[in-house]
């Protein structure tokens, strides 16, 4: 899944773009809005972006799970060493348990960091949001949806938009890397 970020100047245009996306088949659950006030978004019937969209949580969990693999290697190596030294039988269930623990510990530890880091795009434009503008984050599951979103965004020349790839290119890699 890819995220497309659209900077929108006001609530009226935000609602128009959301309606256009909905008419073209993008489900409401895939459209998230970052705004200064939650009550305005709720009253307008817009989905407020949550921690998954506004923080570095998901990328951090993925990185943490990968780091957990190194913990798995360490734990399994220790288990093999102890089993070999004491001439014990090696049980696959113990290896699977160690693997699960290592990956879970890596993901959990990294998520604690990621939840405290802002999404680089949201962080970069927080001043824009404080001035009353909005950031629309649209989830795209395939190229067809991505093209619909880009087309809708380009119909409004006042909008600025970016993809996940643009973020890394223009704003650097996500924090925590």
Give the range of the structural domain holding residue 82, as residue numbers without chain letter. Answer: 57-114
Q: Could you tell me if 25 and 72 lie in one domain?
A: no
- Summarize pLDDT for 45-72 with one digit per residue, the tens: 999 999 888 998 988 999 999 999 998 9
> Considering the entire predicted model, what is its pTM?
0.73
**In this structure, are strands 2-8 and 134-140 parallel, antiparallel, or unpaired?**
antiparallel
Given a contact cutoff of 8 angstroms between Cβ atoms, the answer to whether 33 and 46 are in contact is: yes
Which pLDDT score, from 0 to 100, does residue 9 have? 86
In a domain, 41, yes or no: yes
Cα dihedral across residues 132, 137, 138, 142: positive or negative: positive
Q: Could you tell me if 62 and 110 lie in one domain?
A: yes
Which pLDDT score, from 0 to 100, does residue 24 have? 86
Residue 70's alpha-carbon distances to 82, 95, 99, 110, 120, in angstroms, are 18, 14, 10, 14, 27
Q: Could you tell me if 32 and 105 lie in one domain?
A: no
In a domain, 12, yes or no: yes
Q: Could you tell me if 32 and 9 lie in one domain?
A: yes
Q: Could you tell me if 21 and 69 lie in one domain?
A: no
In a domain, 127, yes or no: yes
Domain count across the chain:
2
Which pLDDT score, from 0 to 100, does residue 171 have? 45
Q: Select from 114, 134, 156 the last residue of a domain.
A: 114
Given a contact cutoff of 8 angstroms between Cβ atoms, the answer to whether 83 and 90 are in contact is: yes
In a domain, 176, yes or no: no
List all residues 6 or more positions away from 89 whose beta carbon is below 8 Å from its beta carbon. 83
Which pLDDT score, from 0 to 100, does residue 126 have? 85
Tell me how many degrees the CA angle 59-171-118 measures, rounded to the nearest 5.
45
In a domain, 36, yes or no: yes
In a domain, 71, yes or no: yes
In a domain, 33, yes or no: yes
Q: Select from 75, 92, 114 the last residue of a domain.
A: 114
Helix (H) or strand (E) run with residue 103 in it: helix 92-114
Q: Select from 114, 137, 158 the last residue of a domain.
A: 114
């Amino acid at each position: 899944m890819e995220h497309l970020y659209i900077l929108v100047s006001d609530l009226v245009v935000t609602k128009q773009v959301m309606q256009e996306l909905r008419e073209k088949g993008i489900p409401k659950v895939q459209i998230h809005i970052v705004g200064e006030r939650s009550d305005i978004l709720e009253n307008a019937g817009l989905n407020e972006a949550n921690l998954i969209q506004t923080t570095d949580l998901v990328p951090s969990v993925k990185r943490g799970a990968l780091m957990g693999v190194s913990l798995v290697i360490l734990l399994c190596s220790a288990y093999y060493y102890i089993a070999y030294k004491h001439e014990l039988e090696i049980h696959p269930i113990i290896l699977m348990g160690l693997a699960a623990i290592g990956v879970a510990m890596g993901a959990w530890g990294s998520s604690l960091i990621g939840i405290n880091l802002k999404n680089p795009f949201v962080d970069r434009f927080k001043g824009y949001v404080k001035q009353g503008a909005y950031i629309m984050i649209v989830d795209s599951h395939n190229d067809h949806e991505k093209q619909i979103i880009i087309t809708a965004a380009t119909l409004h020349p006042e909008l600025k938009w970016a993809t996940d790839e643009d973020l890394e290119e223009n704003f650097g890699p996500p924090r925590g890397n």
